[in-house]
Amino acid sequence: MAAITYDPDFELPHRLRLYGQDRGMRFSEEARFLRVTSGFQKIRERFDLGVDYGASTVNRHRSEVFVLSDNGDVATSFTRVQWEVEVVVRAVASLLPRSIRPEPVC
């Protein structure tokens, strides 16, 4: 899982760490917050990100989740202000081989 900031000039590593810690994020090799310091325009275009910029900072953006297939294609996306965690988890689980899919929770 990777969260990528839309404002890497402001959201420096210490700010991203605090933001995540304040929200209960458990950082690991598999779960990170990232800032792209060059080439962000390519990411913005690739994912058609819902972000706009004012004179000096982000002035509007969506919260977006992209579930990628094993070859990096977008398998599913959630582009609302909020989404249901269970729906996102099901989308991720659907991409896993059947032998390692988690059991559904009733």
| Ranges of each domain in the chain | 1-56, 62-106
Q: 20 is written with which tokens?
A: 């995540």
Q: How far is CA 74 from the centre of its chain?
A: 12
Q: Which of 55, 46, 83, 57 is nearest to 5 (CA)?
A: 57
pTM score of the predicted model:
0.65
Strand partners, 33: 3
pLDDT digits (tens, 9 = 90+) for 6-21: 888 888 999 999 999 9
Strand partners, 52: 60
pLDDT digits (tens, 9 = 90+) for 33-90: 999 989 888 888 888 887 766 666 666 677 788 899 989 899 988 887 667 788 888 8
